[in-house]
Amino acid sequence: MMAGRKFMRDHSGRIALVHYDRATIVLHWLTVALILVLFALAESWGFLPHGSLRKEFQSLHISLGILLAVVLAVRLGWRASRGRQLPASVTGLQNLAAKAVQYALYLLLTVQVTLGFLYRWAQGESFMFLGLFPIQFSTSKNSALDDTFGSYHNTVAWLIIILAGLHATAALIHYYVLKDGVLQRMLPR
């Protein structure tokens, strides 16, 4: 066994590397995938001419944003009630930094989803949810709030990407440099 790795007995009594439960792992990676696709869509539709795929990219972005809101709510509920709470994988300042980043990401994601809904409400336009049916949050446009919410939504998106990038970098350092099993806790067995 490698030094520094966290092991415990599983339900059959064997010693195994500590992993998060399956639901926590699926919700984590689903969140990651949604964030990356949402960010890529938002950053790419500006390069498309009006009247092309731009509207479809925006509708897909909004639809996936709604799905992110649902995944985030389920994830927070699962974490608070049933998700496996593992012992800290690091100690001291590393532990404090890890917790700070984790809570900051949850907070930023919650703020981002809220801003997304407010932004869409201020735009007063309908969109096709996953291309299936139209949804409209309001019928009147509020240009001042549209610009404000849009600006905040963009800023928070970049904060999430930067913080998530730092989080991913730390996980890769644990995997390739420290070789302490931290990343493996969030990977399927």
Q: How confident is the prediction along the chain (189 residues), in pLDDT tens digits per residue?
A: 344 445 554 455 444 568 889 999 999 999 999 999 999 999 999 898 887 788 889 999 999 999 999 999 999 999 999 777 777 777 889 889 989 999 999 999 999 999 999 999 998 888 888 888 888 877 788 888 999 999 999 999 999 999 999 999 999 999 999 888 888 999 987
Longest dimension (CA), the chain: 63
This prediction's pTM? 0.85
CA distance 52 to 27: 33
- Which residue type occupies 105? L
Residue burial 29-46, b: 16+ Cβ < 10 Å; e: rest = eebeebbeebbebbeebe
Evaluate whether 57 touches 49 at the Cβ level (below 8 Å).
Answer: no
Helix (DSSP H) and strand (DSSP E) numbers for the chain: 4, 4
Given CATH 1.20.950.20, say whether it is the number of domain 7-186.
yes
- Give residue limits of the domains in the chain: 7-186
